[in-house]
Structure 1
Amino acid sequence: MKIFFKSFVYAWTGIADGFANGRNMKSHAISAIIVIVAGILTGLSVSEWCIIILLMGGVMALELMNTAVEYVVDLVTLDFHPLAKKAKDIAAGSVLIFAIASAVIGCVIFLPKWFG
């Protein structure tokens, strides 16, 4: 049981490191806070909240994975290498794709409530 609970400590340490050292994690968190406030003021349904929470969690989880890829690549080499650049770019691209999809879904949820 001790090992089980220790894994949560490691996970929270990773999340804290992502916020402290990840370049974009803070901006994702600020965006999430803005969306939460907008959702409260808009009066989202339970199913809409579930979608929004899943999207926010997905963006942040991918950003943490992107940061992890950057750490691993930097551990392997601090010199410029085309494959290291590709790994970092692809990881960042995965966050961008999910963030764009999240923004589009957010518009589908919010815009009809605001302007419909």
Structure 2
Amino acid sequence: MKKQIFGFKCAFKGIIRTINSESHMRFHIVAGIYVMLFSMFYSFSPTQYAVLVLLITSVMALETVNTCVEDLCGLVADRYEPLVKFAKDAAAGAVLTVALGAAVIACIFFLDFNVINTIFTFFAENLLYLIFLLISAVISAFFVVLGPVGIKEKFIKLKNRHLTKG
């Protein structure tokens, strides 16, 4: 049992490290959250929800593998190597392939102009939800660009600047 718990702990560390170091992973997380949020406006079947979850997790899993490949390539080659470049490009290509497939499926699932109109109407009539959506978009942009570590560092710098001025 200890071995399994240790394995889960290591797996979570790998996921957290990928989130902290890779803006693409943070983008995929944010995109997945918004996909699931807006899916509530649709009448998706359980199978369609399963496809969405499978696609979201597949893209994130491949992004984690891509990070692993990039890190290992950086470890074994301290100068330009064509095979190392190919390995890194191929890993990135795998992520892109699945992400493009996910985007096509999202268009198939979500491109219903009646529902899109319902979404716009909902937010136009519910100012509080619109404000929450806009705030979440700004927070998401900071999360994607800076990451959790970068955001923490920015707040510490702002706090220290404020303390030295006062």
Q: Which residue of 2 aligns with 1:90?
A: 90
The amino acid that maps onto 2:36 is: I
Q: How large is the Cα RMSD of the aligned pairs?
A: 1.4
Q: Which residue of 2 aligns with 1:107?
A: 107
- Classify the secondary structure of the residue corresponding to 2:61: helix
1:7-46 aligned at under 5 Å gives the runs 7-46=7-46
Shift of 1:80: 1.4
Q: Alignment length, in residue pairs?
A: 115
Q: Which residue of 2 aligns with 1:54?
A: 54
- Asked whether the 8 Å contact 2:66–2:92 carries over to 1, the reply is yes
Q: TM-score, normalised by structure 1?
A: 0.92
Shift of 1:78: 2.5
Deviation digits for residues 41-96 of structure 1, max 9, x if unmatched? 22322111100000000000000000000011011012111111111000000000
Q: TM-score, normalised by structure 2?
A: 0.66
Distance 1:50 1:93 in 2: 24
Shift of 1:37: 0.8
Flag as ranges the 4+ runs of structure 1 deviating above 4 A: none
Deviation digits for residues 8-38 of structure 1, max 9, x if unmatched? 0000000001101124100111111110111
Percent of counterpart pairs with the same letter?
37
- Classify the secondary structure of the residue corresponding to 1:10: helix
Distance 1:48 1:114 in 2: 16
Unpaired segments of 5 or more residues in structure 2?
A: 117-166
